Amino acid sequence: MGKITNALKKAAEERMEHLDKKVKLKERERFIVKKVSESSVNPAIITHFDPKALVSEQFKVLRTNILSMNKGVPPKVFGVTSSIHAEGKTVTSLNLAVSLSQAMHKPKVLLVDADMRKGKMAKYLGVDQKIGLSDILEGKEGSKEAIFNIEDENLAFIASGEVPEYPSELLSSKTFKNFLSDMRNQFDHVIIDTPPIVPVTDAGIIGAQLDGLILVVQAGRTQRGVVRRAEELLYQSHSKVLGHVLTNIEYHLPEYIYRYL
C-alpha cells in the first residue's frame, strides 16, 4: 500500500474512533440502513438502503451538479438515456430520484418509466404496478390512476404500462405533451427513463420535449464511436445533452476512506 493510502487510512481510522466516542448510539441508528433481505426493492438502489454509502455519495454529487446547473435554475423535467441497452439507465434514474427526494428541501420527485418497450422500473422497485404511461397515452387511464406513491418518500413513479403497438407514435402525440406539462406543474423534478437511443428513436422524441437528457455510458463496454453516434442522434432530434454518467467504475480505495459520518 502506498504512503498516501496509508495516511488516508490512518486519518479515516482516527476520525472513526473520534466519532465512535462522540456520536451516541441513538444518533448512529439514524444512519443504519434498511435491510436488503427484508425489502422487495432491488439492492442496486443503494441510495434507498444506505444513503451514506460511497455509491450514494456519488449520486449526491450528480444531484448537486444537476441542481447547480444554469446558475441555480436547474433542469426540472429531464431524461436519462444511453447509447445501447443495459448501460445502467434505470438504476441511475432510480438512484438519482431517491437522492433528489432526500435533499434538504424535500422536493417532490416523479420518476416516469418511458421505456414502454421493456420497462423494468416497477420490477426494480419490487411492486406490481400494471397501469402506466402507455395507458395514459392511449387514453385508457388518467395520470392520477397511474401515479404510484412510494412509501415514506416524497417520491412517486409511473410504470411503463402494457407494451403498446406504436410506442414512438404515442410519444409524438399531443397527449404526451400535455402529460409532460401536467407533471411539470405537479412536481419539483420529473426524471424520465428512456430506451437506448441507437437502436430506437424514442429517447430522441422524448428528449426534444424535455429540459435535457443525461447520457449514461457503461465504462469498459460501450465503444467511443457508439457514444458519438448516440450524441449525433440526440443532436439531430434537438435533444440537449446535460452531461454524462459513467457506470461500472471500480474504486481502488476501500470505501471507509471516502466515508464521513
Ligand X SMILES: Nc1ncnc2c1ncn2[C@@H]1O[C@H](COP(=O)(O)OP(=O)(O)OP(=O)(O)O)[C@@H](O)[C@H]1O
82: partner contacted, choices ligand X, Mg ion, none (Cβ within 5-8 A by kind) = ligand X
The distance of Cα 198 from the centroid of its chain, to the nearest Å, equals 20
The 10 Å Cβ neighbour count of residue 49 is 18
Grouping H, G, I as helix, E, B as strand and the rest as coil, residue 148 is strand
Quote the longest CA-to-CA distance of the chain.
64
Q: Give the shortest CB-93-to-Mg ion separation in angstroms.
A: 8
Nearer CB in complex with Mg ion: 12/170: 170
Q: Does 64 bind ligand X (CB under 6 A)?
A: no
Q: What is the dihedral of CA 57, 63, 65, 71, to 10 degrees?
A: -140
The answer to whether 73 and 212 have CB atoms below 8 angstroms apart is no
91: partner contacted, choices Mg ion, ligand X, none (Cβ within 5-8 A by kind) = ligand X
Residue window 77-116: x/- pattern of binding to Mg ion, with contact defined by CB under 5 A: ------------xx--------------------------
The 10 Å Cβ neighbour count of residue 218 is 20
The answer to whether 204 and 69 have CB atoms below 8 angstroms apart is no
Find the binding residues for ligand X in span 30-59 (CB under 6 A). 44
Q: Give the shortest CB-193-to-ligand X separation in angstroms.
A: 7
Q: How far is residue 183's CA from residue 110's CA, in Å, rounded to a whole number?
A: 8
Q: Give the shortest CB-208-to-ligand X separation in angstroms.
A: 20
Which position among 106, 236, 248, 260 is part of the footprint of ligand X (CB under 6 A)?
248
The distance of Cα 159 from the centroid of its chain, to the nearest Å, equals 14
DSSP 132: B
Q: Does 9 bind ligand X (CB under 6 A)?
A: no
Q: Give the shortest CB-4-to-ligand X separation in angstroms.
A: 25
With b for 16 or more beta-carbon neighbours within 10 A and e for fewer, the 133-142 pattern comes to: bbbbbbeebe
Residue window 185-204: x/- pattern of binding to ligand X, with contact defined by CB under 6 A: -----------x--------
Find the binding residues for ligand X in span 69-108 (CB under 6 A). 82, 85-92
Q: Does 239 bind ligand X (CB under 6 A)?
A: no
135: partner contacted, choices ligand X, Mg ion, none (Cβ within 5-8 A by kind) = none
Site residues for ligand X per CB under 6 A = 44, 82, 85-92, 115, 120, 196, 247-248
